[in-house]
Structure 1
Amino acid sequence: MPDSVSDLGEFGLIGAMTERLPQGPGVLLGPGDDSAVVAAPDSRVVVTTDLLVENRHFRRDWSAAADVGHKAAAQNLADIEAMGARPTALTVGLGTPLDLPASWALELAEGLREECAPLGVSVVGGDVVRSDLVIVAVTALGDLGGAEPVTRAGAQPGDVVAVCGRLGWAEAGHQVLSRGFRTPRVVVEAHRRPQIPYGAGVEASRLGATSMCDVSDGLLGDLGHIAAASGVRIDIDPAALDVAGPLREVASALGADPLAWVLTGGDDNALAATFPPDVELPERWNVIGSVAAKGDGDGDGVTVAGEPYDGNAGHDHFAG
């Protein structure tokens, strides 16, 4: 195998990566032409795009290339899930330094494949360019299957707020890695590869979810988007949140508050949704709060135990 991506060349790199990527039955024309052609049985396509920039969203000394591939796919697939849709296809753009080991790029493709293949999601194309840092840009497509999209704007007073998936785990892993440690492995792996509750988005839509989003920047911050879009107030019951044992152990060792990680930590990509109060939710959905009409003095619209949260509500890519 060539040592670096420059040894492979642009089209050699594209060909080597493409060989590792899945193509499902919904792909009418796959990689190799100017564009791919993907079936859209619903006549509508759900689309989302996300970027991972080296040393901002991942570090090569913290995460293997396959981890980055998993994460790049997962965070985009979660956005499709959050609309109540089924993910169908991805395109991937890769910016790479000339001296990036060719094996790293191919392992990235393996991570993409491993995340997508069990879902029947196809990686149908993309691009590679030269850049100073590794940049992975993913666009994901999804199918609503005849249903209406579940947006952030439908929450109603009287609804309950529920979460499906883990919260705070990725932030615990980030805190561990930031201090130069590699254990506990369970939280470090949560930072490297988010565990998306696949299928929960379509499930929520069928159950009558009134609004939904994925938790990528922190529970309070992302619920704040729902509150703002819906014009409501959301209150979180901290006693209903799952603060798992590994989070408590890490927080105790680091002198931190694990509840803060659950409330404001990002990158777990759990799903948060609002439902009418009479809906019987499956066990994997945990009711954590309620929706009420918003008053004039309710600030950003999200409270914890009836009070404004004293601290940063989540991640802001452009914060100082």
Structure 2
Amino acid sequence: MTVATAGEFGLISRVTARLGAASPLVQLGPGDDAALVAAPDGRVVASTDVLVEGRHFRRDWSAARDIGHRAAAANLADIAAMGARPTALLVALCTPASLEIAWAEELADGLAAEAGKVGAVVVGGDTSASPTLTVAVTALGTLEGREPLVRSGARPGDVVAVCGRIGYAAAGYTILSRGFRSPKLLVEAHRRPQVPYAAGPAGALLGATSMIDVSDGLLADLGHVATASGVGIDLRRSAFVVPEQMRDAATALGVDPYGWILAGGDDHALAATFPSSVRLPDEWRIVGEVLPASLFTAGDGVTVDGRRYTGGAPGWDHFR
């Protein structure tokens, strides 16, 4: 059965039937003109992201459930990076009428499963016919009384730390683009990221001064922090250990694995700055330091071992 066979409302009913999770904060879910989500904090953290077929995913590389996980993770990670807890997702699906409805159902399964990891639920959305398959997700979250972690809070003297995997998804993308399907660890990292959601609110409680999720590349994303905070950031290459499977894949493909680690995105690790006096738990690894902007020349907001990165683009740019 295709989307055209089921029709718009048939598609919606089949998808919403697979979103059975509940949340005490969701007072009204799918089925009305809008959802109703409680905001006990009095504030709502909101973020949106779009995945376009051929640009962000390929159906011959990833199953529909994997794409659902990825689409949810990209947004949930943004909420966590604000030091907040995700509560709800809104999903818009734009699809060719020829799409098999089973694919849309499996996409919904992936979205619901990823949201369920943090106690969030899919509360509504929209559908539309489109020649290009597109999944747009909006995430909502609550700060639970905490102040948000913003990009402008880093200060000279802070340390830079990372929680989560770095470079795995980029390595998986390169492997798939070369026509290979292994090692599985890296390919699966591209298909379905493993995001340390809990580290966002936990980092806020530890005293983080800024935080960002690594979606476009560590250098590029920390560059946003450096610009917003009016500081410079220097990373230590030696702080990043190349896993064995990544090292072997890089050797086989003839690439520098540090390009994946420093400039690769889609792992959605969390990068944060902390006062140097904070004792960080093991899941956070210190990878650099925040320095006065006066020590950096124009355009060198983030350096590696005191030097401008020369390994290529520092991260993903949709319009480059």
Would the TM-score normalized by the shorter structure come out above 0.5? yes
- Residues in 2 aligned to 1:316 and 1:300: alpha-carbon distance in whole angstroms: 18
Amino acid at match of 2:254: G
Q: CA deviation at 1:299?
A: 2.3
| Deviation digits for residues 50-89 of structure 1 (CA, Å, limit 9, x no counterpart) | 0000000000000000000000000100000000000000
Give 2:39's aligned residue.
40
Runs (5+) with no aligned partner, structure 2: none
Indicate if the aligned counterparts of 2:48 and 2:139 stay in contact, CA closer than 8 A.
Answer: yes
Runs (5+) with no aligned partner, structure 1: none
- Residues in 1 aligned to 2:168 and 2:30: alpha-carbon distance in whole angstroms: 36
Secondary structure of the residue that 2:153 maps to in structure 1?
A: coil
- Residues in 2 aligned to 1:88 and 1:124: alpha-carbon distance in whole angstroms: 10
| Deviation digits for residues 66-124 of structure 1 (CA, Å, limit 9, x no counterpart) | 00000000010000000000000000000010000011000000111111123210100
Give 1:72's aligned residue.
71
- Residues in 2 aligned to 1:156 and 1:119: alpha-carbon distance in whole angstroms: 30
Give 1:184's aligned residue.
183
Secondary structure of the residue that 2:151 maps to in structure 1?
A: coil
Shifted more, 110-119 versus 265-274: the winner is 110-119
- Residues in 1 aligned to 2:179 and 2:74: alpha-carbon distance in whole angstroms: 25
Give 2:283's aligned residue.
284
Give 1:317's aligned residue.
318
1:96 matches 2:95: yes
Give 2:9's aligned residue.
11
State the TM-score, normalizing by the size of structure 1. Answer: 0.98
Q: How many residues align?
A: 317
1:164 matches 2:163: yes
State how 1:83-232 maps to structure 2 within 5 Å.
83-232=82-231
Q: CA deviation at 1:312?
A: 1.0
Give 1:255's aligned residue.
254
| Deviation digits for residues 210-249 of structure 1 (CA, Å, limit 9, x no counterpart) | 0110000000000000000000010000000132111101
The percentage of counterpart residues that share the same residue type is: 61
- Cα RMSD (Å) of the superposition? 0.8
Q: CA deviation at 1:260?
A: 1.1
- Residues in 2 aligned to 1:242 and 1:217: alpha-carbon distance in whole angstroms: 20
Q: CA deviation at 1:37?
A: 0.3
Indicate if the aligned counterparts of 1:214 and 1:222 stay in contact, CA closer than 8 A.
Answer: yes
State how 1:263-302 maps to structure 2 within 5 Å.
263-295=262-294, 297-302=297-302
Shifted more, 292-301 versus 167-176: the winner is 292-301
Amino acid at match of 2:319: F
Give 1:246's aligned residue.
245
Amino acid at match of 2:174: Q
- Residues in 2 aligned to 1:207 and 1:192: alpha-carbon distance in whole angstroms: 31
Q: CA deviation at 1:298?
A: 4.5
State the TM-score, normalizing by the size of structure 2. Answer: 0.98
| Deviation digits for residues 104-149 of structure 1 (CA, Å, limit 9, x no counterpart) | 0000001111111232101000001000011000000000000100
Amino acid at match of 2:276: P
Indicate if the aligned counterparts of 1:228 and 1:300 stay in contact, CA closer than 8 A.
Answer: no
Give 1:20's aligned residue.
18
Indicate if the aligned counterparts of 1:23 and 1:123 stay in contact, CA closer than 8 A.
Answer: no
| Deviation digits for residues 15-64 of structure 1 (CA, Å, limit 9, x no counterpart) | 11001112312111111111000010101000000000000000000000
Amino acid at match of 1:19: A
Moved over 6 A (4+): none
- Residues in 1 aligned to 2:88 and 2:244: alpha-carbon distance in whole angstroms: 36
Indicate if the aligned counterparts of 1:93 and 1:126 stay in contact, CA closer than 8 A.
Answer: yes
Amino acid at match of 1:307: R
Indicate if the aligned counterparts of 1:233 and 1:298 stay in contact, CA closer than 8 A.
Answer: no
- Residues in 1 aligned to 2:83 and 2:143: alpha-carbon distance in whole angstroms: 7
| Deviation digits for residues 136-187 of structure 1 (CA, Å, limit 9, x no counterpart) | 0000000000010000000000000000000100011001100111111110
- Residues in 1 aligned to 2:135 and 2:305: alpha-carbon distance in whole angstroms: 39
Indicate if the aligned counterparts of 2:217 and 2:263 stay in contact, CA closer than 8 A.
Answer: yes
